[in-house]
Amino acid sequence: MTVSLVLVIIMGVLFAAGVYAMLERSLTRVLIGFLLLGNAANLFLLIVMGRPGVAPFYGAADPSEMSDPLPQALTLTAIVITFAVSAFLLALIYRSWQLGQADTVHDDEADLAVRARTEVDEEQMDDETSIEDEDDDATTDFIGTDTAPITVLHHRDLEGIRDDAPTDRPGASAGESRDRDGGEAR
Amino acid sequence: MSALVPLLVTLPLLGAGVALIFGRRRRVQVGVSIVTLTLVMVIAAVLLYAVDSSGQALAVSVGGWPVPFGIVLYVDRLAALLVVISAIVLLAVLLFSVGQGAADGDDDTPVTIFHPTYLILAAGIFNAFIAGDLFNLYVGFEILLVASYVLITLGSTESRIRTGVVYIVVSLVSSILFLAAIAAIYGALGTVNIAQLAERMTELPQSTQLVLHLMLLLAFSIKAAVFPLSFWLPDSYPTAPAPVTAVFAGLLTKVGVYAMIRTETQIFRDNDVNTLLLIVALATMIVGVLGALAQAELKRILSFTLVSHVGYLVFGLAIATPLALGATIYYMVHHIIVQTTLFLAVGLIERRAGSTSILKVKGLMRAAPVIAVLYFIPAINLGGIPPFSGFIGKFALFNAAATVGTPLMYVLIVGGVVTSLLTLYTLMRAWNLAFWREDDDHADEPAVVERIEYLGDAPAADEQGDRRVIPRMMTATTAGMVAVTIALTVFAGPLYQLCASIGDALLTPVTLVQLEQEAQQ
């Protein structure tokens, strides 16, 4: 099977860039990373098709000159799936932004609990060593870095933005529905 | 008979469409979903009977393309059995959620998308089980995953978005890996049909096989939540609505395990990574159950035990003898049913007590004896107390391992026994605190809290708030599932025989010629 070296290199770059972008904490970058990875995988499917040939229509040419139609069908399916999933991810990012937490990936609750506990232990154990503080900037520590490429604007920041989309924080709406339930039960 | 096979996928999809049309009319939606899943269950049972009695698998080439080129749906005993079991689970959880929804005022404000999405999830699961080629398996996975993305963020509250994001991103990565693996396999062998892959794979050098093998296993291990790729599961499952968690816990990881079984036994017969799998299985069992020990919230405890029990399945798969594979299938059936039942029971507890934290819930034995029974039976079943199916499954697994008899096998057996005991301990601790502790008795409180002080830091659940009345339908459904778990024990003989015959058949893979013959019939 002969393949184009250029395509292989492009695929490699896409995979690398996609993985790099996906490692970010910002959801928008994760989305970009996913799109790159998806394109890389689709390109991979096209590469394994081998040398491109005549369009594979029945009777259009000698079968040996045609390109392999199966990877094309697979790629089309995969593109549709990637498209649908990215639309869903966008909706999710929008919702995450709407809830006012910016568009970042949050930590696992159990991890947070464990971390809180180890921090307490460390404070008890070593309060003399101050070397760790100097190192803090140098380490690639993701904890507490809620960086987002988009700035969250609320209605108080800008008059043109109305932030009245329904949210379900514990508060008014939850209480109302519960009251209604209670009323029905009675 | 083979005309029935595509219905397993098309019926739920059709039902989803109809349910979506009647989005505003909840009763119609409920009717459509129940009828659809019941029909699928009946069809699957008929197929299982047909396949089992004739001893010959059913293959359907969709669209009339000749066999290795088109999409092949393939139903053997294993696929038929798993479709029957998942149809039962899906139907039970649906009834449970209908009971819950009716009490929560769904009649006024119906969640339009729940029923259609649920049916699409079902279609994806069935499609994955009966897929005859790798790409169709990928499509099945994607269908069920996309439906699960919607279900896990249902209502899109803050906590569900937070955990949903992690779940979705991790699943996306595994899907991309799977797709890349398919591309690599197609590049190497020029086919995606599993039967043809199995024939051509032996021509490849071992190193190439190993790369392809590990790519596929990596993708499936994320979906099956095998340690160390299980990190996403315990945080994302518990925040979803109770019925959704129940069906995810029962089925989604098992689809991953099913894909692993097909990969190991059919595609890569010559390429042996069983030692690696055995070590991973041991780590999954132990780490999972240790995670459960440190949790105070029932849904999290169950999510961790879910991870740990996937370890048993990988263990059985890695022994790779017909005896062990039969035991694995039996254990898989047992675990799908029991894990779902436990999550349903926890759903009842959550509703009755307003919380799922075992530090807060107490006095349920007196207040709700029915829930106590419905929790207790599956709990000791999962913990492996005789005579329940958990004991039978574990015993069969250990027996198969001891028959092989290498030192590593005995290490795994010890690990399995320890995991089983720790599972029992975790679930019984929850039982002691939530059910046996008296509600009005504050005398022993300091002592109890001191003894379980380390649980104080464990993450808490979303507060349900007040205690509410439980609809009879939810209790009845859970009771029905408990009855099914007992049936697994009572009818263990015939069921185990079926599983053993599946295990025997798995190691003699289907040839392409066979597949063509079966497709023509």
Chain B residues touching residue A88 (CB < 8 angstroms): 146, 149-150, 168
CA B47 from chain center: how many Å? Answer: 21
Interface of B with A in 40-69 (CB under 8 A): 69
Q: Is B72 helix (H, G, I), strand (E, B) or coil?
A: strand
Whether residue B257 contacts residue B318, with contact meaning beta carbons closer than 8 Å, is answered with no
Is B31 inside a domain boundary? no
- The answer to which of A6-10, A129-133, B100-104, B462-466 has the lowest mean pLDDT is A129-133
Q: Which of A28, A92, A109 to mutate to test the interface with B (most CBs of B within 10 A)?
A: A109
CA B18 from chain center: how many Å? Answer: 27
pLDDT(A173) > 50: no
- The answer to which of B38-52, B118-132, B190-204, B303-317 has the lowest mean pLDDT is B190-204
| Nearest residue in A to B463, CA atom | A170
Does B156 sit within 8 Å of A70, measured CB to CB? no
What whole-number distance in Å separates Cα of residue B306 and Cα of residue B304? 5
Q: Give residues with Cβ within 8 angstroms of B116, minimum separation 6.
A: B16, B17, B19, B20, B23
Is B36 inside a domain boundary? no
What whole-number distance in Å separates Cα of residue A170 and Cα of residue B351? 18
Q: What is the pLDDT of residue A176?
A: 40
- Domain enclosing residue B391, as ranges: 273-490
The larger pLDDT score, comparing residue B139 to residue B70, is at B139
Q: Does domain A1-123+145-181 have CATH number 1.10.287.3510?
A: yes
Q: What is the pLDDT of residue A68?
A: 84
What whole-number distance in Å separates Cα of residue B320 and Cα of residue A114? 38
pLDDT band at A102 (very low <50, low <70, confident <90, very high): low
Of B165, B179, B234, the CB nearest to A105: B165
Q: For B281-335, how does the pLDDT look when each residue is reduced to its tens digit (9 = 90+)?
A: 999 999 999 988 888 888 889 999 999 999 999 999 998 888 999 999 999 999 9
Whether residue B358 contacts residue B296, with contact meaning beta carbons closer than 8 Å, is answered with yes
Q: For B121-173, how does the pLDDT look when each residue is reduced to its tens digit (9 = 90+)?
A: 999 999 999 998 899 999 999 999 999 998 888 877 777 888 888 899 999 99
Q: How far is A132 from chain B (nearest CA, A)?
A: 25
Whether residue B233 contacts residue B269, with contact meaning beta carbons closer than 8 Å, is answered with no
- The mean pLDDT of B77-105, rounded to a whole number, is 86
Q: How far is A121 from chain B (nearest CA, A)?
A: 13
What whole-number distance in Å separates Cα of residue B388 and Cα of residue B371? 19
What whole-number distance in Å separates Cα of residue B200 and Cα of residue B414? 39
Size of interface A-B (CB pairs under 8 A): 116
Whether residue A86 contacts residue A35, with contact meaning beta carbons closer than 8 Å, is answered with yes
- The mean pLDDT of A2-22, rounded to a whole number, is 91
Q: What is the pLDDT of residue A143?
A: 46
| C-alpha dist (Å) from residue B264 to B271, B273, B318 | 9, 9, 9
Is B50 inside a domain boundary? no
Is B467 inside a domain boundary? yes
What whole-number distance in Å separates Cα of residue B128 and Cα of residue B377? 31
- The answer to which of A88-92, A141-145, B66-70 has the lowest mean pLDDT is A141-145
pLDDT(A178) > 50: no
What whole-number distance in Å separates Cα of residue A22 and Cα of residue B173? 9
Please state whether the predicted TM-score (pTM) of the whole model is above 0.80: yes
Q: What is the pLDDT of residue B460?
A: 60
Burial class for B482, CB neighbours closer than 10 Å (0-12, 13-18, 19+): buried
Q: How many domains does chain B have?
A: 1
Q: Please indicate if any CB of chain A lies within 8 Å of the CB of B86.
A: no
Domain positions in chain A are 1-123+145-181
What whole-number distance in Å separates Cα of residue A55 and Cα of residue A45? 17
Q: For B480-514, how does the pLDDT look when each residue is reduced to its tens digit (9 = 90+)?
A: 999 999 998 899 889 888 888 888 888 877 777 77
| C-alpha dist (Å) from residue A50 to A46, A72, B181, B192, B199 | 8, 11, 17, 16, 22
Q: How far is A157 from chain B (nearest CA, A)?
A: 22
Chain B residues touching residue A22 (CB < 8 angstroms): 169, 173
| C-alpha dist (Å) from residue A133 to A138, A147, B336, B460 | 10, 21, 49, 31
Q: What is the pLDDT of residue B142?
A: 93
What whole-number distance in Å separates Cα of residue B99 and Cα of residue B109? 15
- The mean pLDDT of B355-367, rounded to a whole number, is 79
Chain B residues touching residue A168 (CB < 8 angstroms): 155-158
Of A38, A71, A95, the CB nearest to B176: A38
Of A37, A95, A177, the CB nearest to B156: A95
Cα torsion through B124, B127, B129, B130, rounded to 10: 180
- Greatest extent of chain B over all pairs of C-alpha atoms, in Å: 75
Q: What is the mean pLDDT of chain A?
A: 71
Q: What is the mean pLDDT of chain B?
A: 86
- Find, among B477, B482, B478, B462, the residue nearest to B241 by Cα: B462
Residue in this structure with the two tokens 């089925």, named with its chain if needed: B251
Q: Please indicate if any CB of chain A lies within 8 Å of the CB of B142.
A: yes
Chain A residues touching residue B471 (CB < 8 angstroms): none
Q: For A135-170, how does the pLDDT look when each residue is reduced to its tens digit (9 = 90+)?
A: 444 434 444 445 544 455 554 455 554 545 545 444
Q: What is the pLDDT of residue A125?
A: 58
Q: How far is A110 from chain B (nearest CA, A)?
A: 6
Q: What is the pLDDT of residue B513?
A: 76
Q: How far is A130 from chain B (nearest CA, A)?
A: 27
The larger pLDDT score, comparing residue B123 to residue A125, is at B123
pLDDT(B238) > 90: no
Q: Tokens representing B430? A: 């929850």
| C-alpha dist (Å) from residue B139 to A81, B146, B182 | 9, 10, 12
Q: Please indicate if any CB of chain A lies within 8 Å of the CB of B465.
A: yes
Does B165 sit within 8 Å of A96, measured CB to CB? yes
B73 strand-pairing partners: B60, B131
Q: Which of A7, A15, A85 to mutate to test the interface with B (most CBs of B within 10 A)?
A: A85
Is B56 inside a domain boundary? no
For chain B, percent of residues with pLDDT exceeding 70 = 92
Please name the helix (run of DSSP H) or strand (run of DSSP E) that holds residue B285, with its range, or none. helix B274-293
- The answer to which of A152-161, B269-278, B339-348 has the lowest mean pLDDT is A152-161
What whole-number distance in Å separates Cα of residue B184 and Cα of residue B277? 22
pLDDT(B56) > 90: no
Q: Is A104 helix (H, G, I), strand (E, B) or coil?
A: strand
